[in-house]
Structures are given as C-alpha cells and as structure tokens.
Amino acid sequence: MYSLITDNNALAAYCQQVAADSVLALDTEFIRQSTLYPKLGLIQLFDGQSLALVDPLSVSDWQPLQQLLLRPDCIKMLHSCTEDLEAFATIGINRISPLFDTQLAAELLGWGSSVGYARLVEQLSGLILDKSESRTDWLARPLSSTQLQYAANDVHYLYPLYAKLCTELTTAQHQLLLQEGEQLNNRKLQQLPLQYRYLEIKNSWQLSPRELAVLREMAAWRQQYAMEKDLALGLIVKDAAMLELAKRRPATAESLLNIPAIPPREVRRHAKTLVDIIAIAKEVPQHLCPQRFYHTECFAGHKETSEQLTQAVKQAADELGIPAGFISVKRQLNEYLNWCWRVSDQDRALLPIPEYMQGWRKDKLLPYLPKPTHINR
C-alpha cells in the first residue's frame, strides 16, 4: 500500500515519521521530451515500512523533504540518479546526501555498466517487473491507480536491493560509492560558462581558430536561448548544423538554405540571429579566436592524447581493482583533455576543475594520468 501526498502538511508529517530511518529509497517520474529541464510529475519515497507518492503539482513547501534528504545518518538510495537529481533541482532540492546509486553499485561489482533497474531487481530477487507504464504522461491528472502502483513499485522493490548489494560490497567499495554520490551532487553544480559550451560539441577540436570563434558564439547563444525558453538544445540548432555553419559562415539568411544540416523550420526561426552571430564572430581579432590546442610543443595530438588517457584509466582500473567504466566515461575524459589543452592558461581559471582532479579520483586516478608540464597540480 502507499499514501498519496498532495499537501504541505502531509509531506511534513511523512518526513517527520521517517526521520529516524537509516535507509530511504527514492525515485522520481518526470517528462523530458522537448525541454531542457525535466518536468517533475511524481516523487516516490519508501523507508521499508511507509511508502509515499508525493504530487509535486500540489505541494509547494519542500523544506521538510530537503532536510530529510540531507540527514547524514540516512542513506538515500536511487537507481541511475543523474536525471533524478536534475528533477529534484527543479523544486530547489540541490543536494541529496549520503547518496547510494544502485546502478553504480552493480557496475562496481563487475555486473556491467548501465544495468537497468528491472534487470537488477530480477538478478537479485528473481522478480520480473511490469514496465508497461514507462511512457506515462506523469504530468496528467488524475493519475490512475495502475499508474500510481507502477510508480510505487519502483521504490518498493528498490529498497531491498540495498541490503542485498551490501552483502556483496566490501567496506571500501561501499565507501567509494558514497564518495561517488558526493561527486554526482557536485557535478550538476559545476557547469561550463556560456562562452566555453563549444568545447562540449563533438569534433569541434577539428575546426580552425576562426571557425571556433563562430562556434563559440553560436553555442553560447543556443545555451542561453535554451535556458530562457526551456527547450532541448537539439530543437534549437543541432550540433551538426552549428559545425557546418562555423565552417561555411554564411552571410545571408538565404544562404542558410544551402546547408543540408539545417532544417527549413530552423532557418525561418533563427536565420537573422544566426547570420548576426556569424558576422560578429568574423570580426573577432585573430589573436582572440580560440586555438585548436594550446602548448602544442608538448601535445601529442587529440587522438593520441585520448588514447593515452584511455590507457591510463585502464591501468588504474587494473591496479586498483575497479572497473574502468566506473572510474571514467568519455565525457570525463574529454573534460580533462579540454581543460588541459583546449583553453588558454587565462581561460582555464574560469572553468570547473575536471572530475579527474576532484574527490576520490584525485587520489586514485590522477597519479596515472599524463601530467602536462604547463599545469601545476
């Protein structure tokens, strides 16, 4: 059974009721089809005894839940929590600690990367979950009893996984997971400033300095527009289109139509803005254009350095007995490479410190990595 919480007092009462518990299972249901930010539709909470479904469209005072999710003596467990953390942030809950991600626990145990929730439940308990409501519109009201039970099951079967996983994990592995939980919290607070968003675009390192100047201005504009309108980046201008625009640098709205990567709808909506951005970027003095790489006298090359980093991660993983996928994903590798080589020494101070150089990775991974001579670490 579950209780449906639709007002502030009921949420405060539930948070008080479970305040002394040592483990709390969490989940969220949200919609994210065309928006930059997730639209939160439901929050599920289960302490092993009382299961609550919280309606974020009715509740307005989140302080009791915020306090509960920060209690240091209560483990908060989620599965594949990155988007859940983003969803919680939309209601002002910007940190959940201590955090235990069951998908990461499975990866750390060597059971594979990105293990799905239903698969993990089946693996540990033999139960086969019904996923028929996975495409539900969680913003619609009223939600049916079938939809609510589906959502309740996500935390009902999540809660027992903690004890099962703890029997498999060593003390050191358990502590590492909690440390990674802290890093997951920190990650969403460390965003690239607008003028460096171009660094995240795949293959942007292949562009010339002038092309990079154009891409820098477009990527900054697109991110700002996305945040203002709450639109997914790809619905404004796709990465491939921005790369083509940076290379061709069209001077008129009509010439945009000659670029196949840009749909006519986007031309009509953003033509003048894009042409103006390109014109401004064309006037940037050459010495102020971003370089492909800095300190090239001691840089092997993008592909070569990427391979060096990949091999360093593998070596660290082998010697530490940690799966390489747990230590590093492609995004983190690129973040480190960009920070070391793709920005000037002056600009580097404006960027977030790479995850390779934070938290537990600073001690366990950083000693294995190539050490650029131009950076003091």
Catalytic positions, written as ranges:
27, 29, 84, 150, 154
In whole angstroms, what is the distance from residue 172 CA to residue 176 CA?
6
3-state SS class at 127: coil
Long-range contacts of 148-152 (CB under 8 A, 24+ apart): 148/2, 148/4, 148/53, 149/2, 151/27, 151/29, 151/42, 151/44, 151/53, 152/2, 152/44, 152/46, 152/51, 152/53
Task: Identify the residue whose tokens are 């590798």.
Answer: 333
The DSSP line for 244-284 is HHHHH--SSHHHHTT-TTS-HHHHHHHHHHHHHHHHHHHTS
In whole angstroms, what is the distance from residue 333 CA to residue 313 CA?
9
Buried b (16+ CB within 10 A) or exposed e, 346-371: eebeebbebbbbbbbbeebbbebbee
Q: Are strands 39-46 and 23-31 parallel, antiparallel or unpaired?
A: antiparallel
Contact 56, 151 (CB under 8 A): no
Q: Is the dihedral of CA 183, 328, 371, 291 positive or negative?
A: negative
Q: Which amino acid is at 248?
A: R
What are the phi and psi torsion angles at 120 (to 5°)?
A: -65, -40
Half-sphere exposure of 269 (CA within 13 A, CB side): 10
What are the phi and psi torsion angles at 29 (to 5°)?
A: -120, 135
In whole angstroms, what is the distance from residue 201 CA to residue 215 CA?
9
